[in-house]
Amino acid sequence: MSSPLLGIEGGGQANASMESGFPKNPTFTERNYLGLSDCSSVDSSNVPSPCLNLKATELRLGLPGSQSPDRDPESSLTSSEKLDEKPLFPLLPSIDGICSSSTKTVVSGHKRIFTDAMDSCSEIKGLSDGSWLSAASGSDSDPSKSVIQGKFSTNSNVKGNVSSGDQVAKGVTTNLNKVNASNPPAAKAQVVGWPPVRSFRKNILATSSKNNDEVDKKPCSAALFVKVSMDGAPYLRKVDLRGYSSYQQLSSALEKMFTCFTIGQCGSQGGPGKGNLSESKLRDLLHGSGYVLTYEDKDGDWMLVGDVPWDMFIGSCKRLKIMKGSDAIGLAPGATEKSKNRS
C-alpha cells in the first residue's frame, strides 16, 4: 500500500519558498493521519521529506507562462512579469507529453491578472514520493501520455467511466484515467449524467419541441429516459433510448445491466445474456423459460419489443419490462399488427 507521502518543502533543492503570503499550509505537508508514512512525526508541518532530491521528480506549480521542465528555481516568484521558462503544470516532468500539451494552452497575455495569487502561492512542492513517480514514469508513461493528451483535446468523447484497471502497473496507486480510446469519435458521445440536467427536463423538451411549430424542427436529439423493470429484480433501472440506434444495442446494454438473468429472443436479434451475480438465481432461470423484452406503449398496451422499426419504437415506448417468456404469451406481437387492426 503506498503511503500518503505528500512531499514537503525543503527536500533537496531549497526551492524557494513557501511564501508567507499563502494563507494556510502552503506545503503539501505530510499529515500522517493514518500512521502510514515512514516519518515518525505526527501533526507535522515542515517536516523534511526523505531525500528525494532529483529535480526530475519534483512537482511544482510554476508561474504561468513557463515553458519547460528545466527551470531555474530562483526566478520563479519574483514577479509575474517574468514569464520565464517554467512549466505551468509540471505534474510529471519526466512525461514530456503532459508538459507540452498543457503549455499549449497557456497564452502569456492573461498572466498578470492574479498577481497576488501568483506571488503567494506559485511555488508549491508537489508529490515527491519517488516510488510513485518512478513507477509512473516507467512503463506507463506512454499510455499515460496519450491518455492525458486525449483528455486535453476538446470534443473528447470521454465515456466518463474508468474501466477496470487492466493496464495499471502494479503498485501504482494513482492510475491515470484510462480513457476509452477505442471509441471511435462519435458525432456526439453521450456521457452518463452530463450535462447535469434532470431526466424529466430532458424528456419534456423532447416532446414539446416536437409539438411546437414555432421552434425549428431538427432531429430531436434530447435524451429519452425510460424505466426498465425486470420480474424478480429488486430494483429498476433507467435507460436513455436515444443512446441506442438499434434493438441490438439496446438489448446488449440491458443484458449488461441485468446480467444475472437471461434475456431471450427479442425481435430480429437475440442472444442469451451472460454473467451472473447469483449462481442460484441463474440456475433457476435457466430451468424455466427465457426472458423476453416487452414495452408499454403510449396507449398503455404491453407489446413485444422488436417488431416495429426502431424509430417507431422509441417514439411510442413509455417503459420497458423484462418478462418471463411464459408470462409474455398472448402479448401483442407488435405495433404493426395493432395499427393494421385499427385502420
Rg (CA), the chain: 28
Considering the rule CB under 8 A, would residue 16 count as an interface residue with another protein? Answer: no
Considering only residues 233 to 292 of the shown chain, the ones binding another protein according to CB under 8 A are 234-238, 242, 259, 275, 277
Query: In the complex with another protein, which residue's Cβ is closer, 285 or 308?
Result: 285
Least Å from the CB of residue 3 to another protein:
9
> For residue 306, what are the CA distances in angstroms to 148, 255, 258, 273, 291?
41, 15, 19, 17, 14
Phi-psi region for residue 17, left (φ > 0), alpha (ψ -120 to 50) or beta? left
Site string for another protein, 62-91 (x = CB under 8 A): --x-----------------------xx-x
Which is nearest to 227 in space by CA: 261, 187, 257? 257
Cα gap 75→89, rounded to integer Å: 16
Considering the rule CB under 8 A, would residue 181 count as an interface residue with another protein? Answer: no
Q: State the first-to-last Cα distance of the chain, in angstroms, to the nearest integer.
A: 70
Considering only residues 297 to 336 of the shown chain, the ones binding another protein according to CB under 8 A are none
Considering the rule CB under 8 A, would residue 174 count as an interface residue with another protein? Answer: yes
| Contact assessment for residue 286 and residue 323, using Cβ atoms and an 8 Å cutoff | no
Applying CB under 8 A, the site for another protein has a residue count of 101
Least Å from the CB of residue 73 to another protein:
18
Least Å from the CB of residue 92 to another protein:
8
Range in contact with another protein (rule: CB under 8 A) among 44-52, 77-85, 102-110, 286-294: 102-110
| Contact assessment for residue 251 and residue 313, using Cβ atoms and an 8 Å cutoff | no
Query: In the complex with another protein, which residue's Cβ is closer, 38 or 200?
Result: 200
- 217-221's contacts with Cβ under 8 Å and 24+ in sequence apart are 221/188
Considering only residues 131 to 170 of the shown chain, the ones binding another protein according to CB under 8 A are 132, 148, 151-156, 158, 160-162, 164-165, 168, 170
Cα gap 111→100, rounded to integer Å: 18
The H or E element spanning position 205 is helix 199-211
Site string for another protein, 23-62 (x = CB under 8 A): xxx--x-xx-xxxx----------------------x-x-
Considering the rule CB under 8 A, would residue 193 count as an interface residue with another protein? Answer: yes
Which is nearest to 177 in space by CA: 138, 150, 139? 150
The C-alpha cell at 109 is 497575455
Considering the rule CB under 8 A, would residue 198 count as an interface residue with another protein? Answer: yes
Considering the rule CB under 8 A, would residue 342 count as an interface residue with another protein? Answer: no
Least Å from the CB of residue 211 to another protein:
5
**Three-class secondary structure assignment of 255-286:** HHHCCCCCCCCECCECCCCCCCCCHHHHHHHH
Query: In the complex with another protein, which residue's Cβ is closer, 173 or 183?
Result: 173
The C-alpha cell at 131 is 516510488
- Quick one: which of 188, 217, 340, 342 contacts another protein (CB under 8 A)? 188
- Quick one: which of 184, 187, 280, 341 contacts another protein (CB under 8 A)? 187
Residue 287 half-sphere exposure, CB side, CA atoms within 13 Å? 6
Considering the rule CB under 8 A, would residue 95 count as an interface residue with another protein? Answer: no
Considering the rule CB under 8 A, would residue 102 count as an interface residue with another protein? Answer: yes
- Quick one: which of 215, 268, 286, 336 contacts another protein (CB under 8 A)? 215
Least Å from the CB of residue 7 to another protein:
10
